[in-house]
Chain A
């Protein structure tokens, strides 16, 4: 069964304390890996898409990387406004031409001032 696992479930950092979130996947035929940010009570907000091992994307304090089995979301010198749940999703061909997003359960990041 295709699975997406995110770790840790929750992470508490001090402002400026860099760290990484992990997304590991056991899927056959990965078509793409997506990172989203979700604030409480809101819809997921797109951050990055990665398609092949070795690919990296950056946006402000965030950097996403991809290997054949996992992806990391590196957060450099985080600020309190980076506090959110970060979701990882993989795009799979679920039959026909539907590329379904399968989500991990997310990492709740809290950045204290």
Chain B
């Protein structure tokens, strides 16, 4: 099956620093990728849609200047958490869809990145 990887799998940083998280589709191309955030014991919340060749689209309430997204190629999207603060500590998950010819394309999820901001 399709594989999506994320790097790093976990990161600890100091408050005020920036952290970059990579999401790669290993065996398929993805013009679109999605970034989710999962708080402990809560569901995944969609943050933004990463679009290759154009700007990301952010969900309501998500600060685009705080969470910078760059879709550098058809297999790579990056999420940079700028000036991180402890409240940004969370589990960040990306996904990428594969076209299936139907109305909805199945998404494949990365293993997630655990961010802890001290």
Question: Do A and B originate from a single complex?
Answer: no
A interface with B by C-beta (< 8 Å): none
